[in-house]
Structure 1
Amino acid sequence: MTAEFRKTSSWENGYQGTYTIKNHSRTALSGWTVEFDLPASTTVGAHWDAQLIRQGNRYSFRNVGYNGPLAPGASTTFGWVAQGSGVPAQCVVNKGGPCEGGGDITAPTVPTGVHITGIEDGALTLNWTASVDDQSPVVNYDLFVNGVRYATLAGVTSYRVTGLQPATPYTFQLIAKDEAGNQSASSNAVTGTTGDLSPTRTKPTAPYVDMGAWPTPSLSTLASESGLKNFSLGAITSPTCKAMWFNYYDPRAGWGKENINALRATGGEVKVTFGGAGGRELAQNCDSVDALFTEYDAVVRQYDLRYVDFDIEGAAVNDPVSIARRSAALARLQQAHPGLRISLTLPVAPSGLTQTGLSVVTSARDAGVALDVVNVMTMDYFMVIDYGDAAIQAAEATVTQLKALYPARTDAQLWGMLGVTPMIGENDDHQIYDQADARQLVAFARSKKLGMISFWDVTRDRNACTGNLSLCTNVPQSPYEFSRIVGAYNG
């Protein structure tokens, strides 16, 4: 009679284990018992198809009525959920000899041949030779990036590591594990450097322009009068699964293209924004990744875009289905357009991103999207607070959150992927973000080398008026005063 141990699944703080008992004799057995030790750091939680008696670290499993009798050649299985990573030791079956597999203490071979086969500006692909084990298949590999565990990989000898910074070196190592939980020594360290496929990186300043304003803003005129060179254009939305400029103009027809080209002729550039507070983002209306990718791709191709922004707020930030669909489509979009820079614009509190906002970033990371910027909207807190100080607090809190999502990145890299976007002048909650607050943000951005600072929006800054908040800042100012303050930041 034998009892063979297997880990059927595992996770960071536990695993699911089973023993398969088999009758190798020529006579029927009326019952069975399997006993083993677990280290003090590991305990048995839920279990099934067996009765359990525990004495200290010794666990004794006995058959229940229906699975005790075993005919010659027959087998049965029981299992449990372990809290901790320790595996059975000193296993005996029916108070007799050792259990088959219970004595596996030999580690798999060290992974060899680790090398880099693919280089992108936000990803590196690793390949290696499979490890072998004396008794069982190698279950998984722990991948370490810059000394920090990045992922646990099952049944593969190739992996694309995403979410990396362009033009940056990264060091990789692998450890193999078998079904008994034995692990190999670490592989040799291999270093690879991501590429930088785009001639330019994040635009350090790209304030928003409401392209739905009337008359339609002339981008080249805004650039000439404000001193700004780069703008984020709002916004592509949709009442259906069809990309539209603010629910009205079809980008496939090239609406606004001459306007964009005129700005580019002066040395400026644009980032097109999808979503926002004024309409539904496409992922909420398209019912498949394929359909959503097609719409995103059409806009990128029509305007030859290097930068795209996704403003996820309101109902969209609380919709996990559309979040997952968007992330998958964005990963495909970057594969179709190498070097495309993607930013996520999200609501924030002085304490940082909300849990739903964090889920948008996490989903993109897990889908393999190389995010250029996580841009936080430091506005409309609906609380009495100094809005200049609150923007700095929100930035600091968000970087702390990003550190947990991207543990392999340095502090400098994390600050470099952060954008901060206040609403200039009077906010919708009637609190004020004034010129002194803008100067405070620029000084902070210089000290941290922020990826981007922006604001909503340039047409309000141009008008320098008192009145409707969609047109005016409602604070004393000269035309384009905020633009000139923010435009002084160059990364």
Structure 2
Amino acid sequence: MSRRLTLLVSAAALALIGTPAIAATPGAVSADFAQTSVWGGGYQGQYTVTNQSNHAISSWKVEFDLPAGTTVSSSWDATETVSGNHYTFTNKSYNGAVAAGATAAFGFVAGGSALPANCLLNGATCAGVVDTTPPSAPSNLKAGTVTTTGVALSWTGSTDNIGVTGYDVYRGTTKALTITGTSATVTGLAPSTPYTFTVKAHDLAGNQSAASNAITVTTAAGSGSGSTWPLKVAPYVDMGSWPTPVLTDTANASGLQNFTLAFVTGNGCKASWFNAYDPTTGWDRTDIDALRAQGGDVTISFGGEAGTELSGSCTDQTQIQQQYQAIITAYATSRLDFDIEGAAVVDHTSVDRRNAVLAKLQAANPGLQISYTLPVMPDGLTSDGTYIVQSAASHGVNVSLVNVMAMDYGQHDGIDMGVKAQQAAQATHDQLKVIYPSKTDAQLWGMVGVTPMLGVNDDSSTFSLANASSLATYANGKHLGELAFWEVTRDRNACNGSLTNCTNVTQQPYDFSKRFEAFTG
């Protein structure tokens, strides 16, 4: 028998099996229990979350106790955790959102005869509470990172008699964002323009608080090209490392505040964090919000050497755009990076498909910045890398940054890796001048990013601490768009061993980060 099969019984039969443990309150969100089947020594139960309020909910959590002698042996359509005789069931990714007037359900099999007791839904009684009390107003609204097209905001959260479920961020009188955390980045703004922001909280019943304090922030001046990349030093963080890197800890220890998060890959027409987590649900968003609250920010990077980028695994442009858009929304981001290497570089069909989608994505998200991270040799981008940028230009994609991977050249000619990184930057600048003849020299340098691999590279060449210092000095002189490196966890570990985890050069933790920090743009 399928676990998801709900048995249809008459009212009389249901009375024999068991009655609902609670009675829902009209106008509230409630969780109603019923036994759907009973046998000697056990039963099957179901909770139905019913939203009779005027406000959609984005998640739910049902808790209850079972007396000694009765235990849950299996469950479905919820994630189960147990502490003693206390059971907690939280929604799955596919059934957490419950619109006004809609329902969601989960079920379980219990061994024993006792029914659930002390039921709580999202911390309140499962019978539901008709709530007319609004949350307190958010406070201490302040701005963090300010770019030409975006402002990072943070605030102190509200309190509520039942519980705050989210915040509405207003730009003037226009609602710009609705989120669950206490920080957000408002994007799509114009350079050199003042904007006034406030925040209001809302609760489960849809009650909205008074506005927070208002702040007025002026966006940074633009270069006129629309291609200013705001994160000057943003090294890659391998989010697939275990345990998952804590961005705020990394920022506090390294001195760097901005990071490029690697990598979102494609599994058919679904995006995935390294084939493990769903980015459209905002995995690790809490850590990103905490980083933003202390003045930092992130770029979401797609692809990578070991993964297939979404435009390579899916041929449906509509679905690709929907996935990109869902990730932009989930992380409130205005920057996407596409690390295209290996077989993906020579797949011109997927390159053109991606650029067609990105042009539509930028049209739908004014201010969205796109960077391409591409293989390079000291004499510049490969022919396939050049094709990617030319394709972007022909499709109308506004590429803000061409970030070259200054690593693994396979050359052992006595020229140090710092010099080769500078040569690659100059050559890439000259190639961009051919693709973008109307841009000024300063604008072209602002489009160039450089990303070396710290310490020993895969080809046994070495990018040293001295190379890092010289590259930072060079980048300041040329006013490059960005410096990055692969990868922060290796810099933290400062060890000898596998290149996955170690730099294999003599250093202290974060020595490379501290040298890159000298680049100010």
Q: What's the TM-score once normalised by structure 1's chain length?
A: 0.60
Q: Residue 343 of structure 2: which of 315, 328, 332 is its match? A: 315
User: What secondary structure does 2:270 align onto?
Assistant: coil
2:499 aligned with 1:461: no
- Label 1:167 to 1:304 Cα distance change in 2 as closer, same or farther (>3 A): closer
- Deviation for aligned residue 1:202: 2.3
Q: Calculate percent identity across the aligned residue pairs.
A: 52
Code of the residue aligned with 1:313 in structure 2: it is: E
Distance 1:209 1:352 in 2: 25
Code of the residue aligned with 1:432 in structure 2: it is: T
- Structure 1 segment 76-115 matched on structure 2, within 5 A: none
Task: Provide, for residues 71-107 of structure 1, a one-character-per-residue CA deviation record: whole Å limited to 9, x for no partner.
Answer: xxxxxxxxxxxxxxxxxxxxxxxxxxxxxxxxxxxxx
Instruction: State whether residues 270 and 323 of structure 2, in contact with CA within 8 Å, keep that contact through their aligned partners in structure 1.
Output: yes
Distance 2:455 2:374 in 1: 20
2:313 aligned with 1:285: yes
2:263 aligned with 1:235: yes
- Label 1:411 to 1:167 Cα distance change in 2 as closer, same or farther (>3 A): farther
Residue 459 (structure 2) aligns with:
429
Q: Residue 260 of structure 1: which of 279, 282, 288 is its match? A: 288
Code of the residue aligned with 1:420 in structure 2: it is: V
- Deviation for aligned residue 1:400: 0.7
Instruction: State whether residues 266 and 311 of structure 2, in contact with CA within 8 Å, keep that contact through their aligned partners in structure 1.
Output: no
Distance 2:224 2:472 in 1: 29
Distance 2:455 2:420 in 1: 15
- Deviation for aligned residue 1:488: 1.7
Displaced runs of 4+ in structure 1, greater than 4 A?
193-198
Distance 1:218 1:477 in 2: 22
2:428 aligned with 1:363: no
Distance 2:487 2:248 in 1: 16
Code of the residue aligned with 1:470 in structure 2: it is: T
Instruction: State whether residues 426 and 473 of structure 1, in contact with CA within 8 Å, keep that contact through their aligned partners in structure 2.
Output: yes
Residue 364 (structure 2) aligns with:
336
Task: Provide, for residues 258-278 of structure 1, a one-character-per-residue CA deviation record: whole Å limited to 9, x for no partner.
Answer: 111111111100000000112
Residue 407 (structure 1) aligns with:
437
Code of the residue aligned with 1:268 in structure 2: it is: G
2:254 aligned with 1:226: yes
- Deviation for aligned residue 1:239: 2.7
Instruction: State whether residues 202 and 372 of structure 1, in contact with CA within 8 Å, keep that contact through their aligned partners in structure 2.
Output: no
Residue 334 (structure 2) aligns with:
306
Instruction: State whether residues 229 and 446 of structure 2, in contact with CA within 8 Å, keep that contact through their aligned partners in structure 1.
Output: no
User: What secondary structure does 1:238 align onto?
Assistant: strand
Distance 2:307 2:281 in 1: 20
Residue 394 (structure 1) aligns with:
424
2:322 aligned with 1:294: yes
Instruction: State whether residues 451 and 486 of structure 2, in contact with CA within 8 Å, keep that contact through their aligned partners in structure 1.
Output: yes
Code of the residue aligned with 1:370 in structure 2: it is: N
Distance 2:509 2:401 in 1: 29
Instruction: State whether residues 167 and 196 of structure 1, in contact with CA within 8 Å, keep that contact through their aligned partners in structure 2.
Output: no
CA RMSD in angstroms comes to: 2.0
- Deviation for aligned residue 1:382: 1.0
Q: What's the TM-score once normalised by structure 2's chain length?
A: 0.56
- Structure 1 segment 203-222 matched on structure 2, within 5 A: 203-222=231-250
User: What secondary structure does 1:259 align onto?
Assistant: helix
Residue 481 (structure 1) aligns with:
511
Task: Provide, for residues 436-476 of structure 1, a one-character-per-residue CA deviation record: whole Å limited to 9, x for no partner.
Answer: 10111111101100000110000000001000111110000
Code of the residue aligned with 1:355 in structure 2: it is: S
Instruction: State whether residues 246 and 278 of structure 1, in contact with CA within 8 Å, keep that contact through their aligned partners in structure 2.
Output: no
Instruction: State whether residues 229 and 401 of structure 2, in contact with CA within 8 Å, keep that contact through their aligned partners in structure 1.
Output: no
2:230 aligned with 1:202: yes
Runs of 5+ unmatched residues, structure 2:
1-147, 150-189, 193-221
Residue 275 (structure 1) aligns with:
303
Q: Residue 274 of structure 2: which of 220, 236, 246 is its match? A: 246
Runs of 5+ unmatched residues, structure 1:
1-120, 123-165, 169-192
- Label 1:315 to 1:197 Cα distance change in 2 as closer, same or farther (>3 A): closer
Instruction: State whether residues 196 and 339 of structure 1, in contact with CA within 8 Å, keep that contact through their aligned partners in structure 2.
Output: no
Distance 2:229 2:339 in 1: 20
Task: Provide, for residues 265-298 of structure 1, a one-character-per-residue CA deviation record: whole Å limited to 9, x for no partner.
Answer: 1110000000011210001111122121111111
Residue 60 (structure 1) aligns with:
none
Figure out how many residues of one structure are paired with residues of the other and give that number.
303
